[in-house]
């Protein structure tokens, strides 16, 4: 990788016409925007709604069902555990996952 960088930097320091310099600069911008576009689409995961059963006691007595959105990590059980704890309950298990482009119902 270091050798490639040296070759590129040597090539850029050679005397060039303005037209050649603009072509190289434009190609670099296009390459950078293509990489940026790919990174943007990779992070735009579809919305997934998780319906979590939250409750108290042992065995867990379900007191409410909470909906939360998940776009990537953590895993569904971890996301439900966090949401239930925010409401003062514990996660009873039984995650239902649905596709929800407009968010939780």
| 31-66 confidence digits (pLDDT tens) | 666 655 555 444 456 778 989 999 998 888 988 888
Question: H helices within 1-105, ranges in order?
Answer: 2-13, 18-43, 76-86
- Could you give the strand order of the β-sheet that contains 48-56, starting from the edge strand earlier in sequence? 61-70, 48-56, 90-99
Predicted confidence (pLDDT) at residue 10 exceeds the cutoff of 80: no
Q: Answer whether 0.85 is exceeded by the pTM.
A: no
Please, which residues have CB within 8 angstroms of residue 60's CB and are 6 or more apart in sequence?
A: 53, 90, 92, 93
Report the share of the chain in percent with pLDDT over 90. 11
Residue 56 CA to residue 52 CA, distance in Å, equals 13
More confident site: 24 or 92: 92
The phi-psi region of residue 88 (left if phi > 0; otherwise alpha if psi is between -120 and 50; otherwise beta) is: left
Predicted confidence (pLDDT) at residue 100 exceeds the cutoff of 90: no
Instruction: Determine the average pLDDT of the residues in 18-32.
Output: 68
Bridge partners of 49, per DSSP, are 69, 98
């Amino acid at each position: 990788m270091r050798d490639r960088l040296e070759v590129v930097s040597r090539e850029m320091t050679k005397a060039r016409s303005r037209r050649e310099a603009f072509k190289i600069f434009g190609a670099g911008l296009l390459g950078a925007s293509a990489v940026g576009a790919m990174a943007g689409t990779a992070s735009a995961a579809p919305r997934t709604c998780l319906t979590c059963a939250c409750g108290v006691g042992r065995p867990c007595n379900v007191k409410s069902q909470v909906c939360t959105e998940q776009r990537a990590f953590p895993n569904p059980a971890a996301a439900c555990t966090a949401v239930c704890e925010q409401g003062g309950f514990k996660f009873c298990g039984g995650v239902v996952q649905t596709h929800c482009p407009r968010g939780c119902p």
